[in-house]
Structure 1
Amino acid sequence: MNKLLTLYQRLFRKRLAYKTVFDPAKLEVKIVLADLAKVCPANPARGTGAPIDEKKVFINIGRREVLNHILAMTNLPDEKLNALAQEEEQ
């Protein structure tokens, strides 16, 4: 039970750290998340050319995995991320 509690405490602390660093209420965070949304495409084939470059697809998948992890740790839904990206463009 003690190991489980310690694991929960570590995960809680980690999630709190992500929420602190990636707080979407901060202007700087909005700018960074909007930029990451552009660099980490939801469609991994985007920007890979024709014919599709498999290496670029795998790079895009890896990039999106990082963004998805940040969003999961902060509970930021895709809709909010898209809104931040649109705000950045205006």
Structure 2
Amino acid sequence: MLGNKGVTTDPASFHIWLALPEGWTRSAFARQARAAGIGTVASDAFLAAGEAPEAVRICLGGIASRAEIAQSLEIPVHVLSHSPDLASAYI
């Protein structure tokens, strides 16, 4: 669903690494996703040294079916389709 929008993952993985498009900050995106019930962690948590990229990890491990995954991934797709300035409208 996220297509070629900065997604890195592995077919056996329980998460998606999502590089955010210009204008989005990892903290703003993570906050909006968590408010909508999507398990998201900002890239800061995975950094050993240097500056964290504007990216998040979206967790998929607790979802029971492909239909639930598809429904859940509609949220970040919808959030990213709008300006980060409008993100507070998704809470």
Shorter-chain-normalised TM-score: which range? under 0.3
Per chain length, whose mean CA-contact separation is higher, i.e. which structure has more relative contact order (CA < 8 Å, sep 6+)?
A: 1
**TM-score, structure 1 length as denominator?**
0.27
Structure with greater helix share of residues? 1
Structure with greater strand share of residues? 2
